[in-house]
Amino acid sequence: MTNLNRIGLVGATLAVWPSLVTAQASGSSRELVLGAKQGFEITIEVNDVPLRLRVDPSATGVILLNPGAAARAKLRPSRLDKKLARALGLEAEPEGLQSGSIGGHDVPVSTPDPSRTPAPAGAQTQLGSVQMRGKLALARAVIAGQSEQKVFSWFARDVISDADGIISPAVLPFDTVRFKFREPSNVERLVPFALDYSPLTGLIYRHPIAGHHVSVKFSVLEPATTATAAAAAVISAHLGGSWAGDRRMHSVGLGVTRPVRPLSLGAPLGIKSLSVDRLLVRISDHRGGHALPLDEPIGDDLLVTARSAQEARYLLVVGQDTMGGCSELKYLRRNRIVMTCR
């Protein structure tokens, strides 16, 4: 998610690792090594059509494609049946399916009339106040020589530039996926995270803050660490936050821009050994009843102190700025991430 949906590598801040995209096999252990210079990219095949995908730990288990890529691969929306439900991690009978989540957003699934042939599955993502409907398809993909059924989704707009889509390392047939940022330094330590995973939400680390559990995602493609308004409000109230710049518009994916504002924390937010002292806050998105730091209201800033029409969602996406002191992020099968950082 996106928030999870990405437009591309904009303003990348991490140092470049030399040309590096390799796959290694050793007995039952398989490892994929991805470098920053190539944008952490892998090529898969769908219906004999090669697709270039960016690999990002913040992506969901549903492979998000640009609509042009879905058309080239001749993908067609799948029927809502038990097979697709299982692939989405939903246990209910098809006629009982109601909703899931892609990138932390609601994804209503078409509920067919039991007396009719199952209807095509649909997806819906909410980027702030903007809602977009998309399509879902279950299709066979060839990844690193292995053929497996995967779930794909696409909307009317591109999800990323300079590639065909985004894929999670959890979807790849490797025991280990290593994201190499730069050469390691002499003094580094390992920072491990145990993650929750589902196909609809992707990899999430649950971080408790002042009685709330903030869902933390790690993105190797996102330059700035970004928070929904509810997450920022909770963090700011706990650690003392103040605005550190003016509002501006920021791309949140699928061609949608939303207002954001930088927030400086009085004390750093510690996520294990990672330290976050500055957030880019989506000031109008998913705030619920929480209040952001007060400021002189100018125009739409009045929305900061009024109750939000959107329910609170506590989501923090850790970007390249926070991981700038790390030489590597490693995804391990069974849903663990280990960072190597100064």
pLDDT digits (tens, 9 = 90+) for 283-330: 988 888 898 987 644 444 444 445 556 788 899 999 999 998 999 999
Between the CA of residue 132 and those of 114, 120, 126, what are the distances in Å? 26, 17, 6
CA 21 to CA 123: how far, in whole Å? 32
pLDDT exceeds cutoff 90 at 132: no
Q: How far is CA 241 from CA 109, 112, 253, 281, 338, in A?
A: 38, 47, 26, 11, 29
On whether the pTM is more than 0.85, the answer is no
Cβ–Cβ under 8 Å, residues 65 and 52: no
Specify the 3-state DSSP secondary structure of 49.
strand
Mean pLDDT of 248-258: 85
Structure tokens at 166: 């985004």
Handedness of CA 16, 20, 21, 25 (dihedral sign): negative
Query: What pLDDT band is residue 3 in, cutting at 50, 70 and 90?
Result: very low
Report the helix count and the strand count for the chain, using DSSP H and E.
3, 24
Q: How confident is the model at residue 242 (pLDDT cuts 50, 70, 90)?
A: very high
Compute the distance between CA of residue 110 and CA of residue 95 in angstroms, rounded to an integer.
9
Give strand ranges (E) for 21-121: 21-26, 29-35, 41-46, 49-55, 63-65, 99-102, 105-108
* Domains (range + CATH), the chain: 189-341 (2.40.70.10)
* Interstrand relation of 212-218 and 202-209 (parallel, antiparallel or unpaired): antiparallel
User: pLDDT tens digits for 169-188?
Assistant: 999 999 999 999 998 888 89
Q: Residues for the chain: how many in total?
A: 342
Contact 318/329 with Cβ under 8 angstroms?
Answer: no
Query: What sections of the chain are H helices per DSSP?
Result: 67-72, 82-87, 229-239
Rounded Cα–Cα distance for residues 94 and 310 (Å) = 28
